[in-house]
C-alpha cells in the first residue's frame, strides 16, 4: 500500500508547520523523514496517521483519499519514541491486546491469537520473553515488543516516530540494522522519522530531508549524501569543511593558493563557498605537483576504522580530514608537523553573487 500526500498545509495558530508539501511513499518502501527539531516530521506523520487534521491538501492510501477515515480505520501501526507498553500485562498480552479488543465478529480465535503472537515474537527475535512484564525488559527489547504490538493488527503501513530515540548509541546501531533486515523480510510500507542522519543513511531506501515545514530534497541515501541540492542538505548529512574562495576553471583559490579541483566546471571566475567532505582531501608530507595548502597538524585521532585529523592552514583556515588507516601508516604524521593538503574532489560549491 502506497502513501501519498499532495500539497498539504498545516498551521498551528499563526505558525505554518507544513507548507505545500507533497510526497509519495511507494508500496514496500522504507522512507526516512530526516530534519532538524521543529522541521515538521512528526506533524507530517500524525497527518498521515489521521491523528490530526490538514488545513489543505490530500492524504491518499493507495489511490483512495483517506480524508474521511479516522485513525483507527486507516490500518496504520505506530511505534513512538516512548511507546508505553501496558505495565500490568505480560509481553504476550501486550502483543495480543489489539486482537483481543476487536469486535467479536472479526476477532480471531484464542488459538489463532496465540499463534499470531508467537509468530510476531519470533519475527522480533524475542520468543523467550513472552511471559515477562515490560519493566523486566531492556529499552531495546521494549521497542521491539512495541513494534510486534503495532504489527499484530496487520497494519497496511507502519509509522515510526524516533522509535530508537531514547536508547543508547550501541543499542540504536543494533536496532537500526535489525529494522533494515526486518523490513527486507516484511516489505511493509514504512515511514520512519529521525533526526539522526547516520540512522537515516543506514536504514532507508530513500530519505526526505525536511526544513521549516518544507522538503529540501528526496533521494536515495547515496543521492542526498553525494549530490546534495543545497548547502542545508549538505550540512545536515554529515561533516563538511567550507572555504570562502574564488573559483576558476579547474581551480579553487583559497587564501591566495590556487588549488587544482579535478572536474570543476566554471563558466566564468566567481567568488564562492566551497564545501569539502573530510575524505576529499589528499595529505602529503612533501609539496605535491601542482599546488597545495601548507597546514599544521593540530590533532590526530587514529582510534577507529578511519583516522581523523585536524589541521590549520598558514592563512588560518581550519580543516578536518579523514584518511584510511593504510594512508595513515604511510604518512606517519604526528601533531605539530607540517603537511600539504590538496583537493581530490569537492562536494558542492555555492556561487556568491554579492561579493566582488
Ligand atoms: P522533533 O524532531 O523535535 O520532534 P519535528 O520535526 O517532529 O521535531 P514537529 O513536532 O512536527 O517537528 O513540529 C513542527 C513545528 O510545529 C514545531 O515548531 C512545533 O513547535 C510546532 N507544533 C507542533 N505541534 C504543535 C501544536 N500542537 N501546537 C502548536 N505548535 C505545534
How confident is the model over 234-271, as pLDDT tens digits? Answer: 989 988 998 998 988 888 899 888 998 887 778 788 89
Residue 353 is predicted with a pLDDT of 58
pLDDT digits (tens, 9 = 90+) for 65-120: 988 888 878 888 888 777 678 889 999 999 998 888 888 888 889 999 999 999 88
Q: What are 121's three cell numbers?
A: 515474537
Beta-bridge partners for 92: none
Whether residue 12 has its Cβ less than 6 Å from ligand 1: yes
Distance from residue 137's CA to the centre of ligand 1 (Å): 30
- Across the chain, the runs of DSSP E, i.e. the strands, are 3-12, 15-25, 30-34, 56-61, 64-65, 76-80, 157-161, 189-194, 206-211, 214-219, 241-248, 251-254, 257-260, 270-276, 281-284, 293-301, 306-313, 318-324, 338-343, 348-351
User: CA 111, CA 77: separation in Å to the nearest integer?
Assistant: 23
Half-sphere exposure of 153 (CA within 13 A, CB side): 23
Whether residue 195 has its Cβ less than 6 Å from ligand 1: yes
Parts of the chain belonging to CATH 2.40.50.140: 241-354
Distance from residue 15's CA to the centre of ligand 1 (Å): 10
Q: For residue 248, how many other CB atoms are within 10 A of its CB?
A: 15
Q: What are 101's three cell numbers?
A: 479488543
Distance, first Cα to last Cα, the chain: 53
User: CA 22, CA 300: separation in Å to the nearest integer?
Assistant: 45
Residue nearest to atom 1 of ligand 1 (CA): 37
Alpha carbon of residue 145 to chain centroid = 23
Residue with cell string 566567481: 270
Test site for ligand 1: of 39, 80, 195, most ligand atoms within 8 A of the Cβ: 39
Indicate the range of 88-92, 309-313, 345-349 predicted with least confidence.
Answer: 345-349
| Mean pLDDT within 177-187 | 86
pLDDT digits (tens, 9 = 90+) for 148-159: 888 888 888 999
Whether residue 43 has its Cβ less than 6 Å from ligand 1: yes
Whether residue 14 has its Cβ less than 6 Å from ligand 1: no
Whether residue 189 has its Cβ less than 6 Å from ligand 1: no
Q: For residue 142, how many other CB atoms are within 10 A of its CB?
A: 22
pLDDT digits (tens, 9 = 90+) for 196-237: 899 999 999 999 999 999 999 999 999 999 889 998 999 899
Distance from residue 281's CA to the centre of ligand 1 (Å): 39
Test site for ligand 1: of 17, 164, 210, most ligand atoms within 8 A of the Cβ: 17
Whether residue 10 has its Cβ less than 6 Å from ligand 1: no
Contact residues for 243 (Cβ-Cβ < 8 A; gap 6+): 252, 254, 273, 274, 276, 317
Architecture per CATH, domain 3-236, reads as: 3-Layer(aba) Sandwich (3.40)
**Topology of domain 241-354, per CATH?**
OB fold (Dihydrolipoamide Acetyltransferase, E2P) (2.40.50)
Whether residue 40 has its Cβ less than 6 Å from ligand 1: yes
- Across 26-97, the runs of DSSP E, i.e. the strands, are 30-34, 56-61, 64-65, 76-80
The secondary element (H helix, E strand) that includes residue 49 is helix 41-49
String of DSSP letters for 271-295: EEEEEE-GGGEEEESSPPSS--EEE
Whether residue 17 has its Cβ less than 6 Å from ligand 1: yes
Parts of the chain belonging to CATH 3.40.50.300: 3-236
Q: For residue 117, how many other CB atoms are within 10 A of its CB?
A: 23
User: CA 207, CA 209: separation in Å to the nearest integer?
Assistant: 6
Contact residues for 176 (Cβ-Cβ < 8 A; gap 6+): 164, 199, 202, 203
Whether residue 211 has its Cβ less than 6 Å from ligand 1: no
User: CA 142, CA 89: separation in Å to the nearest integer?
Assistant: 13
Residue 356 is predicted with a pLDDT of 39
Nearest to 238 by CA among 199, 210, 208: 199
Residue 292 sits at φ, ψ, to 5 deg, of -145, 160
Whether residue 194 has its Cβ less than 6 Å from ligand 1: no
Amino acid at each position: 500500500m502506497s502513501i501519498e500526500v499532495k500539497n498539504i498545509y498545516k498551521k498551528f495558530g499563526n505558525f505554518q508547520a507544513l507548507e505545500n508539501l507533497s510526497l509519495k511513499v511507494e508500496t514496500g518502501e522504507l522512507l526516512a523523514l530526516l530534519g532538524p527539531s521543529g522541521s515538521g516530521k512528526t506533524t507530517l506523520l500524525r497527518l498521515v496517521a489521521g491523528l490530526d487534521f490538514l488545513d489543505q491538501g490530500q492524504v491518499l492510501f493507495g489511490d483512495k483519499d483517506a480524508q474521511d477515515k479516522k485513525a483507527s480505520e486507516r490500518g496504520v501501526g505506530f511505534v513512538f519514541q516512548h511507546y508505553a507498553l501496558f505495565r500490568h500485562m505480560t509481553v504476550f498480552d501486550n502483543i495480543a491486546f489489539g486482537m483481543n479488543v476487536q469486535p467479536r465478529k472479526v476477532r480471531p480465535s484464542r488459538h489463532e491469537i496465540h499463534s499470531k503472537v508467537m509468530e510476531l515474537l519470533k519475527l522480533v527475535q524475542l520468543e523467550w520473553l513472552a511471559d515477562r512484564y515490560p519493566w523486566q525488559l531492556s529499552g531495546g527489547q521494549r521497542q521491539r515488543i512495541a513494534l510486534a504490538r503495532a504489527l499484530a493488527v496487520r497494519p497496511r503501513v507502519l509509522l515510526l516516530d524516533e522509535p530508537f530515540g531514547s536508547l543508547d548509541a550501541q543499542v540504536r546501531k543494533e536496532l537500526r540494522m535489525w529494522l533494515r533486515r526486518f523490513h527486507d523480510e516484511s516489505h511493509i510500507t514504512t515511514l520512519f522519522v529521525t533526526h539522526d542522519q547516520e540512522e537515516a543513511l543506514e536504514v532507508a531506501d530513500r530519505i526526505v530531508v525536511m526544513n521549516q515545514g518544507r522538503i529540501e530534497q528526496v533521494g536515495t541515501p547515496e543521492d542526498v549524501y553525494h549530490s546534495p541540492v543545497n548547502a542545508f542538505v549538505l550540512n545536515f548529512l554529515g561533516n563538511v569543511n567550507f572555504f570562502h574562495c574564488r573559483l576558476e576553471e579547474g581551480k579553487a583559490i583559497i587564501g591566495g593558493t590556487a588549488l587544482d579541483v579535478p572536474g570543476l566546471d566554471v563558466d566564468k571566475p566567481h567568488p564562492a563557498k566551497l564545501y569539502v567532505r573530510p575524505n576529499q582531501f589528499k595529505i602529503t608530507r612533501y609539496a605535491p605537483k601542482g599546488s597545495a595548502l601548507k597546514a599544521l597538524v593540530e590533532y590526530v585521532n587514529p582510534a577507529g576504522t578511519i583516522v581523523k585529523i585536524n589541521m590549520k592552514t598558514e592563512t588560518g583556515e581550519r580543516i578536518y580530514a579523514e584518511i584510511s588507516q593504510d594512508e595513515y601508516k604511510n604518512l606517519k604524521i604526528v601533531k605539530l608537523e607540517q603537511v600539504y593538503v590538496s583537493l581530490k574532489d569537492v562536494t558542492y560549491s555555492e556561487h556568491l553573487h554579492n561579493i566582488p
